[in-house]
Amino acid sequence: MRTTARASAYTALNLLFFALAGTALLAWTYDLTHETIARSEENEKLKLIAQIAPPATYDNDIMKDTAQLAADKLLGGTGTTLVYRGRLNNQPSIAVLQVIAPDGYSGRINLIIAIRSDGSIGGVRVVSHRETPGLGDYIEIARSNWITGFNGASLENRKSGEWKVKKDGGSFDYMAGATITPRTIVKAVHKALQYYAQHRDEMFANVEARRAVPLLPAKEK
């Protein structure tokens, strides 16, 4: 009896030890890498912004002309987000919004969306996602040009019923094998346009605050 108890205790402790050792290793690796990862994701994002907001569309320093936007369910996230504001001759010309599509096939999809002053899409890019590789990853510009299908779309030239994938009766393409992924992105882009239509003026107000002050709360209203 005693030996059984002892063997059980040994087994349990052994398992506990490996669980702790595994957790420690993961925590250490995370600590070692998370800053580098955040930096390279930030760099990726800046590259993507340059793709969808071409330099000809603005003459200010778009990376520095930012404002905090309060959380809004049309933007998908729960925290404040940064908007990059492009101006041409001091007139608003393009806004780059950061939007979250919350219901992808495996979690959130982070998007950036450039919207021109006439309310049409300058471009959409996926910043990060966890969709199934080989199936749902065609949303990345590096893998397919599906995402360019949004270019030029606006609330005027597409009625609200058209903001769906073709399978659901809308006007946006999708690829067989993965429809949940494009569906959530179409929805998120549609909502971002609605947000832009409602908040355009306040988004571009506050001209003095041209520097990014990410720690301050939104002061637009």
Partner 1 sequence: MTYQGIKDILYNGLWKQNPGVAQLLGLCPLLAISNTVVNALSLGLATTLVMTLSGSGVAAIREVIPNETRIPVYILLIAVLVTVVQLLMNAYVHPLYLVLGIFIPLIVTNCIILARAESFASKNGVFASALDGIAMGLGLTAVLVVLGGIREIFGHGTLLSGIDMVFGEAAKSLVITVVPNYHGFLLAILPPGAFIALGLLIALKNWLNLRAERKAHGANATVAPVEGGCSTAH
Q: Which two tokens stand for residue 78?
A: 């729960």
Residue 147 or 193 with smaller CB distance to partner 1: 147
The letter for the amino acid at 89 is: N
* 212 and 92 Cβ atoms separated by less than 8 Å: no
d(CA 5, CA 2): 5
Q: Which two tokens stand for residue 160?
A: 């609200």
Taking the complex as a whole, the smallest distance from the CB of residue 106 to partner 1 amounts, in Å, to 9
Q: Strands, E, within the chain: which ranges?
A: 66-69, 81-88, 91-104, 107-116, 121-128
Instruction: By CB under 8 A, tell whether 7 contacts partner 1.
Output: yes
Instruction: By CB under 8 A, tell whether 145 contacts partner 1.
Output: no
| 154-193 footprint of partner 1 as x/- string (CB under 8 A) | ----------------------xx----------------
| 113-132 footprint of partner 1 as x/- string (CB under 8 A) | -----------------x-x
* 62 and 85 Cβ atoms separated by less than 8 Å: yes
User: Which strand ranges, in their side-by-side order, compose the sheet holding 121-128?
Assistant: 66-69, 81-88, 91-104, 107-116, 121-128
d(CA 65, CA 86): 7
Report the residue from 142, 169, 215, 221 that binds partner 1 according to the rule CB under 8 A: 142
Positions 72 through 91 that interact with partner 1 (CB under 8 A) = none
Residue 10 or 59 with smaller CB distance to partner 1: 10
Instruction: By CB under 8 A, tell whether 11 contacts partner 1.
Output: yes
β-strand partners of 104: 107
Positions 14 through 53 that interact with partner 1 (CB under 8 A) = 14-15, 18-19, 22, 25-26, 29-30, 32-33, 36-37, 40, 44
d(CA 22, CA 144): 37
Instruction: By CB under 8 A, tell whether 107 contacts partner 1.
Output: no
d(CA 201, CA 185): 25
Residue 40 or 157 with smaller CB distance to partner 1: 40
Which residues contact partner 1 by CB under 8 A? Answer: 7, 10-11, 14-15, 18-19, 22, 25-26, 29-30, 32-33, 36-37, 40, 44, 130, 132-135, 137, 142-143, 176-177
